[in-house]
Amino acid sequence: MQENDHILRVQDLKTDFKVGRRTVHAVNGVTFDVRRGKTLCIVGESGCGKSVTAHSIMQLLPPNGTIAGGTISYYTRDGACEILSNYKRSGPRMRAIRGKEISMIFQDPMSTLNPVYTVGSQIMEMLKKHEKVSKAEGKARIIRLLGELGIPNPEIRYDQYPHEFSGGMKQRIMIAIAMICNPTLLIADEPTTALDVTIQAQILDLIRKMQESYGTSVILITHNMGIVVEIADDVAVMYMGRIVEFGSVQQIFSHPVHPYTRALMRSVPVLGMNKDQELAVIEGTTPDASTVFTGCEFAERCECARPECFHRFPKDTEIEAGHRVRCLLYEEGGEENG
Amino acid sequence: MTIRKKTRNTSLAKRSWQKFIQNRMAILGLIGLVLIIAACLAAPLLTNYDPTLIDPSIRGLSPSREHLLGTDRLGRDIFARILYGGRWSIMIGVIAAMGANLLGAALGCIAGYYGGKVDSVLVSIQEMLSIFPGTLINMLCIGFMGKSVRNLLLIFTFTGWPGVMRIVRGRILSLKQEPYVESCRANGIGGMSIMFHHLLPNTLGPIIVNSTMNVAGYILSEAALSYLGLGVPDNVPTWGNIINAAKRLDIVQTLPMLWLAPAAAICLFVLSINFFGDGLRDALDPSSK
Amino acid sequence: MFKYILRKLLALIPKLLVMSVILFFALELLPGDALSRTMPPDQYQALSEAQKVAAREALGLNAPPVIRYFRWLNQIFHGDFGYSASTGQNIGTMLAGRLPYTIELSFYGLLLATAVGLLLGFLSAVMKNTIVDYFCTTISVFGISLPEFFFGIVFIILFSVQLKWLPSGGRMPVGAHGFFSRVPYLVLPVMTMAISLTAALVRYTKNSMMDVMGKDYIKTARSKGLRETTVSFKHAFRNSLIPTMTLIVMRLPRLVGGSAVIEMVFNYPGIGNMALTAVNAGDIPVVMITTMTTGVMVLLSSTLVDIVTAMLDPRIRLG
C-alpha cells in the first residue's frame, strides 16, 4: 500500500494513566492505519482502551493521561506528514489540526454541548476559528448543514440553547460542529451509545451520509458488532489496551481468527438466527486495568488457551494481506486450532 | 466468578479511615485539634496563674519568663486566660454545633419524610430565618435574654439549624425514592422506625461534616459577639472576650499580645477544624475517590 | 428575561408581607404600652391617663389586630416606624440617616469580594499547583479562619497608625461633602468586610472551575482547536459562575451581618452601629426594625444576584 492511501498511521502507541501512585497502561502498543475516505471501526468491551486511543490521536487526554510512546502520523490533503504525537497538547500546531483536519464526536450528547451558549454560536465558534468567513455567510452555511443533518426549522433552531434539544438532536448538532470545517478525518467515539435505538440508526446514517458527501475518513469506536458490520471498511478488535485482530470487514467477519473476536461474534444475535439457539457468553470478566500480565491478556478467559499462553506475549502475525492477529496460535511455528 | 476475590473486602468505615489518613492536611488538622484541646484541658499543669484573678500590681506587663504572653490591663496573665478561655470557647463551639445540628437534623428528617404541609411550613421558616443576618439576630436575642453562656448556647441552637435542616431534608428526599425504603414500607415498618433506623444513618456523613465545620463557625461567631460586648458575661474568659479588652486603639498598640495571642489561638483552632473537616468530607463522601 | 425578572419581583411581595407580619406581631408582643411607641417618650410622659385612653382610641389601638396591622403597614410605607424608647428619635428618620451608609458599605464590599474572589479562584484553578495557586489558597484559608474584626484591627494599625495613609474610622471629614471625600473612609471597612466572602469565593470558584474543566463540553471546546485561554475563560469560567452565584446568595446575610462588627471597629455610623447602641440601651423595637431592614436588604440583593444568575444561565432564564 502506498503512503498516499493513508490518512492516519498509528504505530506502537502507548498511553499511560496515573491513578494515585500507580501507572496504568491503558493503551499498550497499538498499531493501525486509517485509509483515505474509508471507515475504521475499533471494537471492544468497555475499558479496552478504544476510547483512549481516539483521545490520544486528538491529544484530548485528561491531565493524568500521557502518550508514553509510539508515533501518530497524520497525512494532510497535500501529502505532508504531521507527527501528532510530537506536538504539544494545546500548542498551536495541534490546535490547527483539531477541528480543521480531524474532528471528534463524543459519546454523551447530553453533556458535550455548552449549556450557556446557543447551538448556532457553538458551531460558529468552530467555523470562525478555522476559516475566514463573514457572519452572514457563516450563518447561511451552518443553517444549510443543519438542514442536511435533518434538523427541522434550522433558522429557528440556530438561536436556541442545548437544553431545548433532545438527545438525538443534540448529537446532530455535535455532528454539525464536527463537520462544518470539512475535516478529512472524523473520530466518532461511541456516538450512539447514549441514544435510543431508533435514533441510533438515524445518527449512523447521517455519519455515513456525511462521509459520502464530503469524502471524510471515519474512525468509529463502538462495542456494537451490529454497527461494525453495517458501516466499517476496516475493523480493529481491541482487548486490554492492545489490538488483538485487525483486518478488512470481510476478513474479520467471514474469517475471524482470534479466539476473542470469535467469542465476540458468537455473543451477538444475528437477524434470522434460530430463536432457540443460545447466545454464547465470554466467560469471566475483563481484568482490572492495572493487572500485570506475564503472557497473553486474554488467556485467562480464552477457550483455546494453552499453558504457554500464560507465560509468553504473542506477537503480531500477518496471516493474510492486511489481516493481522495477535495470538500465539497463529505465530510462526504455532499450529492452527480448528 | 473467581476474579471477584481480588477486590478488597473492606467496610465503609475502614475505607473512609484509610482515605482520611492519606490526606496530609486532615491529619495535620487532627493533630492541631488534639494539641489545642489537650493544652486547654491541661491548663492547670501548664500555668500557675488564675485566669480571673485581678492583680493591679502587674498591670499591662510585656511578655516575660513569668508571664509568657504578658498581662492585661487588670493584671491577669494572658497565657492563662488563653488556655482557660480555650475551654470555654471550644465548649461553646462544640455544644452549639451539636445543638444546632441535632435540631436541624430532626427537623430535616421530619420535613423530608412527611412532606406536605409540615414540610412547607418548616421550609418557609427555614427560608425566613436564613434571610436574616445571624449577627443581628443574635444581637437581638441577647438584647432580649441577657448575656449568659446558657443564653448564647440556646440562641446559637435556635438560629443555627436551617443549614443542617436543608442538607438533611435534601438527602432524605432523594433517599425516599430508593427502593429499599419502599420495601420497608411494604413490610409494614412504621414511619418513625424507617426514619431513624433507615434514613437518618444515611445522612450521618454530611451531618458529621457540617457539625465539625460549625464548631469553627460558632467559635468565630462567639468571638464577634463578645467583641461587640454581647457575647458571654465579662467574667467568663473566652477567646473573643479576651480580644474585647483591646477595643481602644491605644490598648491595641500598647498591648499587642492582648489581641494577637487570642487571635492566633482562634486562627489555629479554626484552621485545624477546617482541615480536619475537609478531610472528613472527602473521606465520608462515597462518590469521591 | 423580562418575564423572569417580573416573576422574581412578584415573588418578593409575599416574602416581604410575611416579614412585615412577623415584625408587627413581634412588636405587639413586646411588653409595655403600644401607645408609647407611636410618639416621642417625653410627649408620652406628659400625657395623663385619660389622655392616653383617648389617644389609644383615636389612634385605633383598640381595634382588632388585623386592622391595626394594615394601618401599621400603611404607616411603614410612609416611613413611620414609631419612636425609639431610648433616644426619643423617630426610627424612620434614624434609618434614613444611616441605612445609605450601610448599603454603600455592603455594596462595595460585595463588589470587591466578588471581583477579587472570582479572579483569584479562576487563577488558582487555571494555574493549579503553581505558586499562584498556593498563594491564593493560603489567603483564602486564613480569610476563613480569622474573625473579621481581627483584620479590621490589623488594617487600622497598618494603614492608619503606622503608614498614616487612611483614617482609622468615621464617615467623612467634618463639613465635607461628596463621594470623593468619603472614599478614604470607605477603603478599610470595605476591605475588611470583603475578606471573608472573598476567601470563601476563591475556594468555591476554584472547586467549581475544576469541576467544570472535567465536563464533556470542555473536551468539545478543545476538540475545536480553541486556545486554552479561550477554553478556560469562555467555556469553563462562565459555567463555573453559576453555582458560585448560589454561594453568594447564601453568604449575603453574613456579609450584611458583618457590617455590625465592622461598623463598630471603624466607628462607622451605619445601621449595625445603630443596632448595637440600641441593644446596649435595651431599645428592642429599634433592634427589631433594624434587623428587619437588613433582612429586606438581603432579600432584595439576593433577587439581584438571582437575576444575574439568570443572565448567565439560559436554563434558568427560559426554564
State the complex-level ipTM: 0.84
- Report yes or no: A98 at the C interface, CB cutoff 8 Å: yes
- pTM to 2 decimals? 0.83
Between CA A287 and CA C254 the distance in angstroms is 52
Cβ-nearest to A58 among C223, C226, C312: C223
**pLDDT tens string A150-195:** 899 999 999 999 999 988 899 999 999 999 998 999 999 988 888 8
Do residue A60 and residue C313 have CB atoms under 8 angstroms apart? no
Do residue C279 and residue B142 have CB atoms under 8 angstroms apart? yes
- Arithmetic mean of pLDDT, C8-19: 89
Give A-chain residues touching B6 at CB under 8 angstroms: 288
Mean pLDDT of chain C: 85
More confident: C22 or A331: C22
Residue in B with minimal Cα distance to C280: B143
Q: Is A279 helix (H, G, I), strand (E, B) or coil?
A: coil
Residue B2 binned pLDDT confidence (cut-offs 50, 70, 90) = very low
Do residue A287 and residue B3 have CB atoms under 8 angstroms apart? yes
Cβ-nearest to B131 among C146, C276, C299: C299
Q: Is the pLDDT of residue A106 over 50?
A: yes
- Report yes or no: B167 at the C interface, CB cutoff 8 Å: no
**pLDDT tens string C157-216:** 888 888 888 887 777 766 667 777 777 888 899 999 999 899 999 989 999 999 899 889
**pLDDT tens string B61-113:** 677 777 667 777 777 777 888 888 888 899 999 999 999 999 998 898 888 88
Give the number of residues written for chain B. 289
> Which DSSP letter does residue B231 get?
S
- Arithmetic mean of pLDDT, B119-123: 89
Give C-chain residues touching A178 at CB under 8 angstroms: 223
- Report yes or no: B215 at the C interface, CB cutoff 8 Å: no
- Arithmetic mean of pLDDT, B106-135: 87
Cβ-nearest to C157 among B128, B142, B252: B252
Residues 46-75, chain A: which have Cβ within 8 Å of C?
58, 60, 62
- Report yes or no: B27 at the C interface, CB cutoff 8 Å: no
Cα C40 from chain centroid (whole Å): 30
Cβ-based neighbours of B100, under 8 Å, separated by 6 or more = B156, B157, B159, B160, B161, B163, B164, B214, B218
Q: Is the pLDDT of residue C232 over 70?
A: yes
Distance from CA of B229 to the nearest CA of C (A): 9
Do residue A161 and residue C318 have CB atoms under 8 angstroms apart? yes
Q: How far is CA C131 from CA C123, C139, C145, C205, in A?
A: 11, 12, 21, 18
Q: Is A270 helix (H, G, I), strand (E, B) or coil?
A: coil
Cβ-nearest to C276 among B139, B144, B253: B139
Q: What is the pLDDT of residue A272?
A: 62
- Arithmetic mean of pLDDT, C251-273: 87
Q: Cell numbers for A135, please give them.
A: 457572519
Task: Decide if A209 contacts A152 (C-beta within 8 A).
Answer: no
Give B-chain residues touching A288 at CB under 8 angstroms: 6
Q: Is the pLDDT of residue C88 over 80?
A: no
Give C-chain residues touching B227 at CB under 8 angstroms: 147, 149, 261, 264
Say which CATH topology domain B22-284 has: MetI-like fold (1.10.3720)
The domain limits of chain B are 22-284
**pLDDT tens string A6-36:** 889 999 999 998 887 788 888 888 999 999 8
Do residue A288 and residue B6 have CB atoms under 8 angstroms apart? yes
| Strands of the sheet with A39-43, listed across from one edge | A102-105, A185-189, A217-222, A39-43, A234-239, A242-248, A323-326, A316-320
Do residue A99 and residue C313 have CB atoms under 8 angstroms apart? no
Give A-chain residues touching B2 at CB under 8 angstroms: 284
Do residue A130 and residue C215 have CB atoms under 8 angstroms apart? no
**pLDDT tens string C39-79:** 777 777 777 778 778 777 777 777 788 888 888 888 888 87
